[in-house]
Amino acid sequence: MRAEMLANLSAADPGTRAEALRWFAAHGDFGDAAVVAPLVRDPGEFDDRDHDDPPESARTPVRMVALEVLARLRGPGMFTGVFDDALQDGDLRVRVRAALGASAGALLARLAVEGDRGVRYRIAVGLLTGDVGRDQAVAALERLRGGDDPAAVAAASVLGAVARLSHRRRDDG
């Protein structure tokens, strides 16, 4: 099965490539990250609708799936440059996935110019887990909280959790 999926990574059909990537997400290991990484630049898109979905187009970039799979397979700190580069992608769905593995410096740079509130939220949450950019992440979440969209609700929830965790640490320490 693995040999077939390796061959499918270079298939002409973008949907076949995406299915092979999803197979690697479920069955691959650390060593497979190197065969997945080149697909982060795959220009293909495929129809990702289920038979119950509405008839409008649901074009999904193969590179988006590749970023998700690479984030799952890679070792700590590996392929960071690939994720950093993907933060500049024109598709906001790809930029969201790039936040899964980009460096703190690239995330901070993108946070400063990102126009989409959902992408800013994902970047800020990504920065919260590290030592670099934590203050900027909290500030970005504070700004996002001032709305009525899903990013505002999510930002408020994360800020509440951060406040509870900080309070608990003060009580314990």
Separation between Cα atoms, residue 7 and residue 24, nearest integer Å: 12
- List pLDDT tens digits, range 8-43: 999 999 999 999 999 999 999 999 999 999 999 999
> Which band of pLDDT confidence, cut at 50, 70 and 90, is reported for residue 57?
low
Which pair of tokens denotes residue 96? 């969201």
Distance CA 130, CA 82 (A): 19
The predicted model gives 94-99 an average pLDDT of 93
Q: What is the DSSP string of 49-106?
A: --TTS-SS--EEEHHHHHHHHHHHHSPTTTTHHHHHHHTT-SSHHHHHHHTTT--HHH
Partners of 60 in beta bridges: 46
Q: 60-73 pLDDT, tens per residue?
A: 999 999 999 999 99
Going 12 to 16 to 58 to 81, the CA torsion angle's sign is negative
Q: Which pLDDT score, from 0 to 100, does residue 130 have?
A: 76
Pair 83, 98: CB distance under 8 Å: yes
- pLDDT at 52 (0 to 100): 74
State the pLDDT at residue 95: 94
Are 107 and 126 spatial neighbours (Cβ–Cβ below 8 Å)? yes
pLDDT digits (tens, 9 = 90+) for 84-95: 999 999 999 999
Rounded to 10°, the helix 150-172/117-128 angle is 20
pLDDT of the residue at 173: 59
3-state secondary structure of 32: helix
pLDDT tens, residue by residue, 108-163: 999 999 999 999 999 999 898 777 888 999 999 999 998 889 999 999 999 999 88
For residues 88 and 72, give the distance between their C-alpha atoms in angstroms, rounded to a whole number: 21
Whether the per-residue pLDDT at 170 is higher than 70: the answer is: no
- Cβ atoms of 22 and 67 within 8 Å: the answer is no
